[in-house]
Structure 1
Amino acid sequence: MTDKAFAATGISASYGHLILILAERPGLSQNDLSKLINVKASTMTRFIDKLEQQDLVERKHEGRTTSVFLTENGEKMKPVIMSALRSLYEDYCEVFGKEFAEKLTADIHSANMKIME
């Protein structure tokens, strides 16, 4: 379901999640990002490399710290990603029923907010 919903974005849901995090909290370090989405630093480096190659994010270096920001193209991806998420939600509603899908969405949102605290 997720792959189908995100096909139009040209990126995976994981990359979409990362872009939405950076839209909310620009300038996070790669280390902070890897902690937020619970991946190893080397995996985050690969994620950032891929998004940088697609001109969706850029790294800014200050001393030993590398901060990550969305590019203009990355900013333009936000509505595309949100559209994919709406499509995914509609698919969930069809499969699980609206009541369960609403609860699932609320629970996922709540979990993401706790992670980002």
Structure 2
Amino acid sequence: MNEKKQCPVMCSCLYFTSNKLNRILNKMAEEEFIKTGLSPSHALTLMNINRHPGFSQKELSEIMNIKPSTTTRFIDKLEGRGMVERKIEGKLSYLYPTSKGAELQSEIDKCLKNLNKRYSEILGCEESVELTEAIDKAATKLEKNI
């Protein structure tokens, strides 16, 4: 499809432009994180567990801004691969990395750094930081009003 025909409506709509950006960044992230054997979402879930051992699933959902059911699916996969273990106390489930999960952290850090470097080289470092901050600020404002 010709971009010029699409642009007047599509380029002026935050919904469509943010989805376009998300698809592009997701493709880049998948290419970088393939080295871990995990999807970007699973790798970032493991990263958070590695950095915050003992987090409850509820806390993990909150910091990742995802639904509890999504968190459960991510944890199930990581647990099945021997990277995370759950410890149940009452009604709460606490998450801990296994040695296998902890060992993968340096590779996750490299992938995240490479992803950041990749889009920063295209956008420019300053624009990359400004865009990230603007998107986070907009998301926070919009989230408070839905």
TM-score bucket (shorter structure)? 0.7 to 0.9
SS in structure 1 of the partner of residue 88 of structure 2? strand
Deviation at 1:103, TM superposition (A): 4.4
The range that moved more, 92-101 or 48-57, is 92-101
Aligned counterpart, 2:48: 21
Deviation at 1:21, TM superposition (A): 1.4
What are the residue-to-residue correspondences of 1:1-117 with 2, within 5 Å? 1-103=28-130, 107=133
The residue type paired with residue 47 of structure 2 is L
Deviation at 1:102, TM superposition (A): 4.5
The range that moved more, 69-78 or 89-98, is 89-98
TM-score by length of 2: 0.67
The Cα offsets for residues 10-29 of structure 1, whole Å up to 9 and x where unpaired, read as: 11121122122112211111
Structure 1 consecutive aligned stretches of length 4 or more whose deviation exceeds 4 Å: 102-105
The CA RMSD measured in Å over matched residues stands at 2.2
User: 2:98, 2:112 → 1: CA distance?
Assistant: 21
The residue type paired with residue 74 of structure 1 is G
User: 2:129, 2:41 → 1: CA distance?
Assistant: 21
User: 1:57, 1:104 → 2: CA distance?
Assistant: 33
Deviation at 1:53, TM superposition (A): 0.8
The Cα offsets for residues 70-100 of structure 1, whole Å up to 9 and x where unpaired, read as: 0001101110001101111221122112322
The residue type paired with residue 25 of structure 1 is H
The range that moved more, 2-11 or 95-104, is 95-104
Aligned counterpart, 1:114: none
User: 1:85, 1:39 → 2: CA distance?
Assistant: 19
